Chains A and B, each alone.
Chain A
């Protein structure tokens, strides 16, 4: 192979184009905000696996309970006998005969009051325990013992103290959900960096200013962890409390259904409780993530 010599005439020192180059505006590919394909794919990947698991469980359950002398109802039986409850969550046929969604809402109202009180008192007590070494030494052992008492164990005492079922139920929710709020808030307050305290001392912030401007925002991630555990516990307690105090909540509905042997109704109610509890947990988590979005990033 030999390299051909380039003819002189073909070589130009500075090749000049015959016409000026056309300027093509650089258009960045606009990323579409709404991409149906990607969203559908994401939805499928999150929804399909649990759907398969639920179908498999239903099939196993159907097979296991399909014999005539089975003690529990099969899914098909639940669907047939409790169809009204499943299809019409908001029916209202009188004071004691209302849809499950109404019952859940009534229970949620109780939880809102009980848990709301627990959140306020819990954060205040937690701040005290976290701030003062003596409050911690005195109160922490008491809290550690009381928090292990099961919700139902408080019920007779609160019935005796309040002489009415409604405040008793709220008290049981309160006393069940307050402990994680106190303990997590205390840990959060104890972990406030010394520098933040020094800043507040140099500025001579008073107790209230320190609480509002430094302590609560600094401890917010811990506080929300406590609130999230607390709301889960309070939803556990509502069912137990309503079983004994009566009324029209979802907990009492289960007790009532058991007394009149409507097992399919109980199963539908369980599903309602589970879904509601899940939503509550996610709601508190979402609020926490929103509120602490700037605190967690250092």
Chain B
């Protein structure tokens, strides 16, 4: 029990000294700010990359298309495939190092990264994009192909079909995936300390290097990350509900064609085949009574 009290005291001590300021980027709160900005910007850019890859990957082609178009489309698919496999298949922390130090290396130090922000956003976005590309592809193929046909049948092109019919629905379906990616980004941006990006976890590393209070600081980090991800989950749920729209609609006036029982018109009306005709009812009654129609052998 004493341990808990001590932990509480230590955490309070750390917080009162190093809480920092959310807006000027200092202390714990500043780290939280940087983490959130990086995660948010990278998720948005990543989603755009994913959408573009997903759309490019699902452009249909038929045997009737000119060979050049087919060649280009196949090439695009291969390029997207390689991009996805490379960035999904290597650790993000390694990608960060690779890209951050790769640029000066290849240009003989002529070109440096303008800021660690630019490098971090690029790495996390490209990484998110690789995951989103597959999610978007899944979202697109989950929309029943009939709707694509419906759109084509009224003369829409592939881009029109995608933008006005398929993507709005696919986007709704992949919202949980986008949320997943955002939450993963909130946590995984912590590896960006490797290229000296000062987000939430980097501040912890800096601080414990100074005062050795490893565990209390880690506890603050735990609470901080959990608060961010829980808030993100709540906001995402709310957004999903908003996207679903209202379940109710208003009738503008009464519908004349939908029948109230027995009042509709149909081609059989007035013939013995009309289910509501006397003959048909009599026939049904007879069949129920005798098992078959009278006079039928």
A complexed with B: no
